[in-house]
Amino acid sequence: MSKNFEGKVAVVTGAGGTLCSVIALALARWGCKVALIGRTREKLEKTEKAILEAGGVCRILTGDVCDEASMQQIAKEVAEEWGPCRFLVNGAGGNNNRAITTNFYYDPAELSEDKPEGMVGFFDLDMQIFESVVRTNTIGTVIPVRVFARQMAKNGGGSIINFASMNSYRPLTRVPAYALAKAGIVNLTEFLATYFAPAGIRVNAIAPGFFINDRSIKILGSPEIGLTERGKNVMRQTPAGRFGKPEDLMGCVEWLLDEEKAAYVTGITVPVDGGFLSHAGV
């Protein structure tokens, strides 16, 4: 394990989530002091418990990543207690089931007066929910960068990881808001990498393939409870033949954050997808 993490301050947004809770635990095991950020303290407490049991150092700070004043207050508290942020993992985000269509393609029935019960087409989507998905995933990345990269720039640099998606490469059916947001994350990552290079700040992104969490299991199913038709389609498209596990991300996270191993790496988005993007489907 690289010693480049020892004693450094890491900030993880969405630290109560399936993937970022494991990332936060890994950072603590690597020697970082980890600030756990999320909206719900209860979720963060599970991550905190795992870190403390492993002998790590962490602190819970609740706040909305789309609220810049809240993030500024959190950044101030972190800096006063531990010093400036060196590593930022922007894991807050996700989709909302009410921003998902039931239709894979346009169906004239969605405009008819006797539309089938339960049908949700593009024209039926609640625009407030749609906007909230886009805002959480985009502005919820921009604001933590504005706040914590300021500390990095003043103190000799740092490394940032944003979260992209398979939707960043091609828009998957049924999830237009999420696809729109995650395509933007790749572009934002490239912009930030260019902009912050003079400050010694590297900015990269990870694009996870299909990992099971509380939300995705409702759409994909799982090997344990059975796959939905969409889940079966994903498996047919994934050469590795399984869904991802949070631990599958850790090697990529460690590499991208490490200031020696990835010193010349910035502005890229790395798919960790079991080969999903490489499979043409035929």
Hey, what are 89's tokens? 């993992």
Among residues 106, 169, 178, 195, the one annotated as catalytic is 178
User: Within 13 Å of residue 84, how many CA atoms lie on the same side as its CB?
Assistant: 14
- Is 178 an active-site residue? yes
Angle subtended by helix axes 68-82 and 127-154, to nearest 10: 30
Distance, C-alpha 223 to centroid of its chain: 24
Any idea which residues carry the catalytic annotation? 178
